[in-house]
Amino acid sequence: MSQKYYTEKTRPNKIVKRPVREGQEAMLNAYPEKEALVEIRGLDIEYGSGFKKFRAINDLNLNIYKGEVLGLVGESGSGKSTTGRAVVGLTPYSRGHIKLGDVIVPKVMKRGLKFGKKLAEYKRTLNYMANKVQMIFQDPSNSLNPNINIEKIVSEGLDNLKISKQVYLSDLDQSITRKFIELYGEDKFVEITSTKLEKAYEAAESRSELNDQVLSKIKNFVQSTNDNLENAKTMLDLIAKVEQDKEQAKNKSEKEIKKMLIIDMLKQVGLDESILQRYPLEFSGGQQQRIGISRSIVLRPKILVADEPISALDVSIQAQVVNIFNELKERYKLTILFIAHDLRMVEYISDRIAVIYKGVLLEVGPTEVIIKNPLHPYTKSLLDAVPSIESKKGSLIGFVYNSGMHKYTKDIQPVWNDLGNKHFVLGTKQEIEKWKNNDYSPNK
């Protein structure tokens, strides 16, 4: 099989080529039926310059599919947060590309000298990033401005984008769709509306003609059905209330609707309107993180990067915050990059797990497969680092990973190995066979 290359034009008349690892395409195309909302290809991120240049991310290739939670796991300094910050445009990258939907994230998010088509493209990208991409930071106390109250903090994005009324009306219409699916199922929804669920949600967000058609078909169905009259009554009551709320919204200002959105968002994370005039430092770490979550989700983003949102919290609070993420993901159809160093906690929220070490992706697969059958020695060490009731008596220190065990050379390089069940591991063929036999001794 001939060697394939990833090519990139770095500046006029210069093209950089990088060999594509064997098995990489199979790893990236493991879910042909799903839409990749985030595509990362050949990503390099470097800090410093000259002799002090340090490569934090090295040839990272990864997909995050629409509607999934991908857990990005690794120890401190492995490149998790750097990757997340690059996805939202906060950290520049040197090579490769990051694609969000149909938008390419610029290597450096600044206007510079752009005119005409380039300026229009930059503004389109900036608008998409502001509207559809949000980040929740690790330390809530440092990510919230201590000098402004909670109402202003949560409303900051709405104030900048002027989309409060659009978000409010979209929420009302989507509540009808959610209730219909809860009562009748998604198959019945598709049957009567001839519309896929995700298209219906997008139509509600954009306030398009398709949205009106979907709502009309739902109303006609529940008015004419003779099956389960109790469900039909529930739907008709909700539709009447939504129509009344939409009519009342016509007479309300953007400011009034914005406050309604903020109060509703705070209630969804377990807070109430009594905190609106208080300040961040008056709250505990768990409450501050809930406020940070509210600030991000109130904009109804498509992509959410959560950078270790639970690591700074008490163990008793961590489970509550994870439950909030699960509820919001289902309600707003979020696609989440969930960054953490604790594999056991990621298990409860992620659909898939990607393991990264010193900027290199090592193992990717469905959460259940990774947790039950980790193969790469680094993944094994991460799991062993978490004490459990099944642990053997003795030292709490389990398997300790040493990257020097691999003995890679210019001619001997790791490849992506398909283990089945969408589970891929980076290593040589010989290493994979050893690891399958639970032999983690250093290569000779």
Percent with pLDDT over 70 in the chain: 95
pLDDT tens for 300-331 read 999 999 999 988 788 878 888 889 999 999 99
pLDDT tens for 47-71 read 988 888 899 999 999 999 999 999 9
Q: How confident is the model at residue 395 (pLDDT cuts 50, 70, 90)?
A: low
pLDDT tens for 325-374 read 999 999 999 999 999 988 878 888 999 999 999 999 999 999 999 999 99
Mean pLDDT of the residues in the chain: 90
pLDDT at 315: 80
pLDDT at 27 over 70: yes
Residue 359: CA atoms inside 13 Å, Cβ hemisphere, count?
15
Q: How confident is the model at residue 103 (pLDDT cuts 50, 70, 90)?
A: very high
CA angle 252, 254, 255 (to 5 degrees): 95
pLDDT at 1: 55
Strands 5-11 and 14-19: antiparallel
E-assigned strand segments in 256-389: 303-307, 335-340, 352-357, 360-366
Task: Cite the DSSP H helix spans in 16-115.
Answer: 24-28, 80-87
pLDDT at 198: 87
pLDDT at 218: 95
Contacts of 374 (CB under 8 A, 6+ apart): 363, 380, 382, 383
pLDDT at 387: 64
pTM of the model: 0.92
DSSP state of 273: G
State mean pLDDT over 436-440: 90
Specify the CATH architecture of the domain 1-142+302-444: 3-Layer(aba) Sandwich (3.40)
Placement of tokens 């492995």 in the chain: 78
pLDDT at 82 over 90: yes
Q: Are 270 and 323 in contact (CB under 8 A)?
A: no
Q: How confident is the model at residue 391 (pLDDT cuts 50, 70, 90)?
A: low
Of residues 41, 46, 44, 37, the one with CA closest to residue 27: 41
In this structure, what are the phi and psi dihedrals at residue 199, rounded to the nearest 5 degrees? -70, -35
Residue 29 backbone class (left: φ over 0; alpha: ψ -120 to 50; beta: rest): alpha
pLDDT at 311: 83
Query: Cβ–Cβ contacts within 10 Å for residue 18, how many?
Result: 14
Instruction: Using CB atoms within 10 Å of the CB of residue 352, give its burial: 0 to 12 exposed, 13 to 18 middle, 19+ buried.
Output: buried
pLDDT at 292 over 70: yes
State mean pLDDT over 11-18: 76
pLDDT at 441 over 90: no
Q: Are 416 and 22 in contact (CB under 8 A)?
A: yes
- Between CA 151 and CA 154 the distance in angstroms is 5
pLDDT tens for 205-257 read 888 899 999 999 999 999 998 878 899 999 999 999 999 999 999 999 999 99
Q: Are 435 and 427 in contact (CB under 8 A)?
A: yes
Residue type, 302: K
- Between CA 182 and CA 189 the distance in angstroms is 10
> SS3 for 291?
helix
